[in-house]
A and B are shown apart, each in its own frame.
Chain A
């Protein structure tokens, strides 16, 4: 059992820690670094709740080891809204479209949509819709989430 020193940036802040090799990035973010917006659901890559952005890509934080995130830039749901409380466009649209109910799966979905709409090349509607297959929501029946995704594809500036 080896321990490793890791340095990473989470939501713009630098973090340094010593982690056991077997610790997942999700467990590190939630239990060690305190970012409880990372929701661990199934812990084997099926549910999508733990999705975070690592170096501009939406990935499952339960399927990456913390030690593998050494040097990476990580964004969690806490890193999206402005410091004055203004919601990120994805959060705002999901709120307006009633795209959440209990909220457990929500951070994961928000991170996937934020990763796909935040960069230079904004994903088209088909890509956004397809990306939702990587998330399981047991409350909403998905229709609100799909409306939000459609709006994100259609409205420039969101």
Chain B
């Protein structure tokens, strides 16, 4: 269980990192927190020629607020995001989701950008990005671009990222204060990948829903945005929402598959109940408040 030999470089700027990635012609792999990459290296499922450690690039760490939203630097550690006051105040659902990412010890090292970039279909953070309408910042020697999270994932562990590109940050749009948050997942043990999970946010004005962002994880090859369910919620008053019907709509947008943890049918059955329950509980809590 030792990695195949590789070179190691630790650039201190995004430009420098992009240059290495470009010159490696696809033979380089970016090392952020390493909590997924190191196992892949140790198991020799990944054998890059050069490892580009981005932990020494200051620009990639930290959480900031701007007009456009809340930006999380790609190399921001999950534990730092978890205890961040700005996130707790403005995007509490992200903090809730982070509590379910791996274990305390892996969150101390794992990064937000690493998980977002990996694109594990059952992971929480990519689903948050998709559901809440985040965009992914990407840099390369060819320039910088931004891709909507909904366009970023193309399949299990597959994204639109080119081999010479580096994810530098994730920007979540602002959600109005007092928005409703939804998060629920089912995993076999704490820290395991979810079998089924959902995440979302609902904004209200005058007692009715004016904006909805809903997503699934573990329910297909990528995180999935539940657009039909979102559309059905718009304009509805809280007490008129039929949670079961919305969950059914959300389910129609999924394509879960069988694996050795659960069957597609199991995921559909549990997903339907879990989605409806999360929605129902969030709405009941809000109505009572």
Using A1-B6, A116-B104 as known contacts, list a sample of 17 further A-B pairs with CB atoms less than 8 Å apart, ordered by residue number in A. A1-B7, A2-B6, A21-B5, A22-B4, A24-B42, A45-B35, A51-B105, A57-B109, A62-B38, A63-B35, A63-B39, A65-B38, A127-B104, A130-B190, A133-B104, A133-B189, A134-B191
A141 to chain B, nearest CB (A): 15
B48 to chain A, nearest CB (A): 11
**Count of A interface residues, CB-CB < 8 Å:** 30
**CB neighbours of B9 from chain A (8 A):** 2
* Inter-chain contact B38/A24, CB cutoff 8 Å: yes
| Known contacts A21-B5, A133-B103; is-contact A59 B38 (Cβ 8 Å) | no
B41 at the interface (CB under 8 A from A): yes
**CB neighbours of A131 from chain B (8 A):** 103-105
* Inter-chain contact B1/A112, CB cutoff 8 Å: no
Interface string of B66-79 (1 = CB under 8 A from A): 00000000000001
Overall SS of chain A's interface: mixed
Binding site for A on B (CB under 8 A): 1-10, 31, 34-35, 38-39, 41-43, 51, 53, 55, 79, 102-106, 108-109, 189-191
Task: Give me 21 A-to-B residue pairs in the complex whose CB atoms sit less than 8 angstroms apart, sorted by A's number.
Answer: A1-B6, A22-B5, A22-B41, A24-B42, A27-B2, A43-B42, A45-B39, A60-B105, A62-B42, A63-B34, A63-B38, A65-B34, A65-B38, A65-B51, A68-B55, A116-B104, A127-B104, A130-B190, A131-B105, A134-B103, A134-B106
Cβ-neighbour of B105 out of A48, A67, A127 (below 8 A)? A48
User: Which residues between 57 and 73 of chain A lie within 8 Å of chain B, taking CB atoms?
Assistant: 57-60, 62-65, 67-68
* Inter-chain contact A63/B7, CB cutoff 8 Å: no
Which chain A residue has the least Cβ–Cβ distance from B56? A68
Bound state CA distance, A60 and B34, in angstroms?
A: 10
| Known contacts A1-B5, A21-B8, A130-B190; is-contact A58 B108 (Cβ 8 Å) | yes
A145 to chain B, nearest CB (A): 14
Which chain A residue has the least Cβ–Cβ distance from B49? A1
B96 to chain A, nearest CB (A): 14
| Known contacts A22-B4, A130-B190; is-contact A44 B34 (Cβ 8 Å) | no
Which chain B residue has the least Cβ–Cβ distance from A50? B105
A20 at the interface (CB under 8 A from B): yes
User: Which residues between 69 and 122 of chain A lie within 8 Å of chain B, taking CB atoms?
Assistant: 112, 116
B33 to chain A, nearest CB (A): 8
**CB neighbours of B109 from chain A (8 A):** 57, 59-60, 63-64
Bound state CA distance, A51 and B109, in angstroms?
A: 12
B122 to chain A, nearest CB (A): 16
B42 to chain A, nearest CB (A): 5
A4 at the interface (CB under 8 A from B): yes
Bound state CA distance, A68 and B10, in angstroms?
A: 9
Which chain B residue has the least Cβ–Cβ distance from A27? B2
* Inter-chain contact B39/A65, CB cutoff 8 Å: no
Cβ-neighbour of B108 out of A24, A27, A59 (below 8 A)? A59
Bound state CA distance, A27 and B55, in angstroms?
A: 21
